[in-house]
Amino acid sequence: MKLNELRDNPGATRTKKRVARGPGSGKGKTAGRGIKGQKSRSGVAINAYEGGQMPLYQRLPKRGFNRPNAKRFAVINLGVLQKFVDAGKIEAGAAVDEDALVASGLVRRKRDGVRLLAKGELTAKLNLTVTGASKAAVEAVEKAGGSVTVQAPAEAAAE
């Protein structure tokens, strides 16, 4: 076998259909698009239109529900909290509340409160005051010698 004898498998390549190249091609004049109308023009897409049939996205059932009054918490993980302590943005011995977390840059905004989760390791002794905390997070903070105080959200306390 030589380089000049290399060939593709039969039927592996097909020549491109050249439309609008005269009547002899069989795809001349309107190039197989029919006559006039939206579909004969370029740059037009009729997405999800199924010719008057009920479209698929309307035939499928709706699922789920978004509660309009759902609480949205700012979430903190223990590992990130430890990084901020190591960087000196949060003092290890001091009492840390939600305003201190916002001031340090760990939380952008409080939303409906700050919730503490147990992802990562915490070695610093911290006295935290937050809106919510998982059981594992409370245990990890107490194991490190600190404490967690869970308080009601500001709006609920005002009512």
Spatial CA neighbour of 116 closest among 79, 64, 63: 79
Instruction: Say whether pLDDT at 159 is over 70.
Output: no
Whole-angstrom Cα distance, residue 42 to residue 90?
61
Q: Would you say residue 92 lies in a domain?
A: yes
Q: Would you say residue 11 lies in a domain?
A: no
Spatial CA neighbour of 125 closest among 149, 146, 143: 146
pLDDT in tens, 8-27: 999 999 999 999 999 998 89
Total number of domains constituting the chain: 1
Domain that holds residue 151: 74-158
Question: For the whole model, what pTM was predicted?
Answer: 0.54
Q: Would you say residue 138 lies in a domain?
A: yes
Q: Would you say residue 17 lies in a domain?
A: no
Q: Would you say residue 91 lies in a domain?
A: yes
CATH number of the domain at 127, please. Answer: 3.100.10.10
pLDDT in tens, 104-128: 888 898 889 899 998 988 888 888 8
Here the tokens at position 23 are 């009547």
Q: What is the three-class DSSP state of 137?
A: helix
